[in-house]
Amino acid sequence: MDIYGQSPAEVREERPDGRQVRKVGVAESAVSATGQTLRTSGVGSCLAIGLCDAEREIAGLGHPMLPRFADHASPERGKFVDTTIDDLLDDLAEAGARPATVDAVLVGGAQMFDFSFSDGDRESTRSVGPRNVETAEEHLRDRGVDLRAERTGGSVGRSVKLDSATGELTVRTASERTTEVL
Amino acid sequence: MKLDVESLRTFSSLARSGTERAADSLSVMTDIPTNVEVTKLDLATTDDVTEEFEQHDYVSIQIRCEAGLEGVVLLTFERAVAADVVEHLIPESMDATADGMARTSLEELGNVMVGGFVDGWADYLGTAIEFTTPTYVETENPVPRPDADALVSEDHILVFRNQLRMDDTNEQFLLYMFPTRRSLARIRDAADTGGERFPIEKFATFEQMITDGAHQASADLTSMTGLDTGVEVSRLSFVPIDEVPLIVDDDHRIGVVMEFTGPLSGYLAILFDEQSANDVVRALMPSLGEGDAVDAATRQPAIQEIGNIMTSGFIDGWANSLETTIDMSPPQYADDYGPAILDPLASRLARQQEHAFLIDTIMHTPDADFTCEIYALPDENELQNVLTDLSPAQY
């Protein structure tokens, strides 16, 4: 729907200060070239993927749930680690980032619980969290993106804030009550 | 009325895209960045809806949709949230506290948001959707009540209950849609994929089973702790799988999760806020005084014990109703952000399904100081099998 002759996305784009903090939900991603803080909360076995071009002050944050797009019938690319990385890299390039200077930060991929109660097949006996992390590391390598830092694994949930201007990523945990800047 | 799961998916997708358009409309009109958090399709009775409105100090904008999508839309805010929104809508030079001005600005907002909401439905149905002039409604005069033509069985309706949140203030509000039975049937028929259609009474029977389980779990909690809890909410919903973690807020929760297996398998979480968890521990351990600190080592076994008992109360009744056995894994302790506790459960189901049937139950003491939430996520295909097998005598 157009409002006042423009799409909401166009209006928002013209109003860079109107959205200082932008929340990224599960299976969603966002890119900012206007100094916004991107945040996502309560990351358990899911993964928060931050991609930053600090030189050009452009960054993106995604929050996928599962490792690989090709292993599932879902059409939603934002649900998967590999397609989230691909789409974020495309969106960053479109926003003016230079691929050679983009680096990555990974947060999450915890093994929160042991669901071995009923698992029979090999695929599901391995927790989704560690598989999300492995897939991201591998896919970033394939795409030639440096992994600047990661806070992954363990059994704690994490919340993430990414300053798109500096590439500084803040990780908080609830159960350990820690805050760390990467 | 009969419905198949594929039509529930269609309803859910249309509600999601409609709510996103409504949120965009609000963001543009008010400069308040707004996100869609959860787009649920609830099976509810009209009394459930009325009670929810009676329990909150809500103000709503009501709009009636006609033609392609018939029904009533309510844009509903807690009164304090509405006041914040009005401040953004009215220029500084004008008096935002003037009642008439506030109402008119909210009505205009309702108009723009509902315009966004119905756009996707109109595209899907290939027809225009008209809507009436918005009206301002307060909870007590009168409590919004769905029309009789929204009934999909003797006493149930399907409600789109869409939850939105404003980024800057972190305040939440709701966009309800009560579609008519005729509209739902039209969209169902347009989406027809030949899947098995279930009489809505079967869903209602399943929902009653859940409510009975919630009351039993609440009774068990009360008898173990002496905390006088009652069930506030107990409902069956259909929700996109990636929205499941967002049904709880970002706050810290303490509780247990477990897996259940049998003809119906899935995952269950019993969660307390930190204060309520400590209340449970003190009640179970009389040596602890009211002001005594509760340490993690004391808390974990107490919460696992109450979790075990409440799970039995919640799920044993299902097994009896379905004349089967449902096994439960030992409860695993959870102490983390609410969404981080639920995301592993949703991710497990997301490997096979795009949406989830969600059972959510909220119980609290009369003063609401103590709260416990129960979330259950049954496997979608197995739930369909259970519905298929429900005999007419059971509904």
| Interface membership of B138 toward A (CB under 8 Å) | no
A62 touches B: beta carbon within 8 Å: no
Strand B230-240 relative to strand B355-364, pairing: antiparallel
Question: In the beta sheet, which residues pair with residue A52?
Answer: A59, A103
CB contact under 8 A, A3 and B335: no
User: Does ipTM top 0.90?
Assistant: no
Does the pLDDT value for residue B196 go beyond 90? no
Q: What is the pLDDT of residue B321?
A: 82
- Percent of chain B's residues with pLDDT above 70: 95
Compare A26 and B170 and report the one with higher pLDDT. Answer: A26
pLDDT at A2: 29
- Residue B56 is predicted with a pLDDT of 83
pLDDT, position B80: 87
Decide if B205 contacts B392 (C-beta within 8 A): no
Cβ–Cβ gap B340/A43 under 8 Å: yes
| Strand, coil or helix: B391 | coil
Asked if the model's pLDDT at residue B77 lies above 80, the reply is yes
Q: Which of B196, B189, B127, B249 is nearest to B387 (CA)?
A: B196
Distance of residue B45 Cα from the nearest chain A Cα, in angstroms:
30
Chain B nearest C-alpha distance from A163 (Å) = 16
Sign of CA dihedral B151, B153, B155, B157: negative
DSSP string, B78-116: EHHHHHHHHHHHS-TTS-TT-HHHHHHHHHHHHHHHHHH
N- to C-terminal Cα separation, chain B: 14
Residue B346 buriedness (CB in 10 A; 0-12 / 13-18 / 19+): buried
pLDDT of residue B46: 84
Question: By CA distance, what is A76's nearest residue in B?
Answer: B354
**Per-residue model confidence (pLDDT) at position B333:** 95
The dihedral sign for the CA sequence B376, B380, B385, B390: positive
The percent of residues above 90 in pLDDT, for chain B, comes to: 38
- Predicted local confidence at residue B48, as pLDDT: 82
Chain B contact for A26 (CB, 8 A cutoff): yes
Interface check for B29 against chain A (CB to CB < 8 A): the answer is: yes
Q: How far is B155 from chain A (nearest CA, A)?
A: 35
First to last CA, chain A: 40
Quote the distance between the C-alpha of residue B103 and its chain's center.
Answer: 27
Q: Over range B57-82, report the average pLDDT.
A: 89
> Which of A94-103, A112-121, B74-83, B282-291 has the highest mean predicted lDDT (pLDDT)?
A94-103
Q: Kindly indicate the confidence band of residue B207, based on its pLDDT and cuts at 50, 70 and 90.
A: confident
Q: Is B340–A42 a contact, with Cβ atoms under 8 angstroms apart?
A: yes
Burial A40-74 (b: 16+ CB within 10 A, else e): bbbbbbbbbbbbbbbebbbbbbbbbbbbebeebeb
Tell me the chain A residues in contact with residue B115 when contact means C-beta distances shorter than 8 Å: 1
Q: Do residues B270 and B220 touch, judged by C-beta distance below 8 A?
A: no
CA distances (Å), B17 to each of A142, B39, B144, B182, B254, in order?
A: 34, 9, 25, 21, 33
Of B152, B90, B117, nearest to B36 by C-alpha is B117
Instruction: List pLDDT tens digits, range B240-279.
Output: 999 999 999 889 999 999 999 988 999 999 999 999 999 8
B112 inside 8 A of chain A by CB: yes
The CA distance from A13 to B79, in Å, is 31
Query: CB contact, 8 Å: A95 with chain B?
Result: no
pLDDT of A119: 54
Question: What is the CB-side half-sphere exposure of residue B150 using CA atoms within 13 A?
Answer: 25
Q: Which of B112, B261, B344 sits opposite A44 (nearest CB)?
A: B344
Q: Say how far apart CA A3 and CA B31 lie, in whole Å.
A: 13
- Region B276-296 average pLDDT: 83
- Token digits of residue B215: 């009351």
pLDDT at B394: 59
Dihedral of the CA atoms B193, B194, B200, B203 (nearest 10)?
Answer: -80
DSSP H helical ranges for B152-261: 181-190, 200-225
Report chain A residues whose CB lies below 8 A from the CB of B350: 65-66, 74, 79
Q: How far apart are CA B73 and CA A144, in angstroms?
A: 49
Contact B341 A25 (CB under 8 A): no
Q: Measured between CB atoms, does A70 come within 8 Å of chain B?
A: no
**Residue A132 pLDDT:** 96
Q: Which of residues 282-311 of B touch A (CB under 8 A)?
A: none
- One DSSP character per residue, A86-144 reads HHHHHHHHHTT--GGG-EEEEEE--------SS--SHHHHS-HHHHHHHHHHHHHHHTT
Can you tell me the distance from the alpha carbon of B165 to that of A96, in angstroms, rounded to the nearest whole number?
30
Q: What is the pLDDT of residue A147?
A: 96
- pLDDT category at B86 given cuts 50, 70, 90 is confident
The predicted-structure confidence for A124-136, as pLDDT tens digits, reads as follows 556 899 999 999 9
B169 touches chain A (CB under 8 A): no
pTM of the model: 0.89
CB of A140 less than 8 A from some CB of B: no
Would you state the structure tokens that stand for residue B19, as one six-digit string? Answer: 């709510």
Per-residue pLDDT of chain A (182 residues; tens, 9 = 90+): 222 333 334 333 433 445 588 889 999 999 999 888 999 999 999 999 999 999 999 999 999 999 999 888 788 899 999 999 999 999 999 999 998 999 999 999 999 998 876 555 444 556 899 999 999 999 999 999 999 999 999 999 999 999 999 999 999 998 778 889 99
**Distance separating alpha carbons of residues B43 and B206, to the nearest angstrom:** 10
Cβ A89 vs Cβ A102: under 8 Å: yes
Residue B77 near residue B107 (C-beta atoms within 8 A): no
Exposure of B237 in the CB half-sphere (CA atoms within 13 A): 25
The reply to whether A77 touches chain B by the CB within 8 Å rule is no
- Note whether A81 and A74 are within 8 A (CB): no
Nearest to B51 by CA among B199, B180, B211, B220: B211
Residue of higher predicted confidence among B75 and A10: B75
Query: Looking at chain B, which residue has its C-alpha nearest residue A46?
Result: B343
Q: Would you call A130 an interface residue with chain B, using a CB distance cutoff of 8 Å?
A: no
The pLDDT-based confidence of B141 (bands split at 50, 70, 90) is low
The SS3 assignment for B361 reads: strand
Per DSSP, the residues of A31-91 read EESS-PEEEEEEESSSEEEEEEETTTTEEEEE---BS-GGGS----GGGBHHHHHHHHHHH
Nearest CA in chain B to A12: B28
| Residue B260 burial class via C-beta count within 10 angstroms: exposed 0-12, middle 13-18, buried 19 and up | buried
Size of interface A-B (CB pairs under 8 A): 146
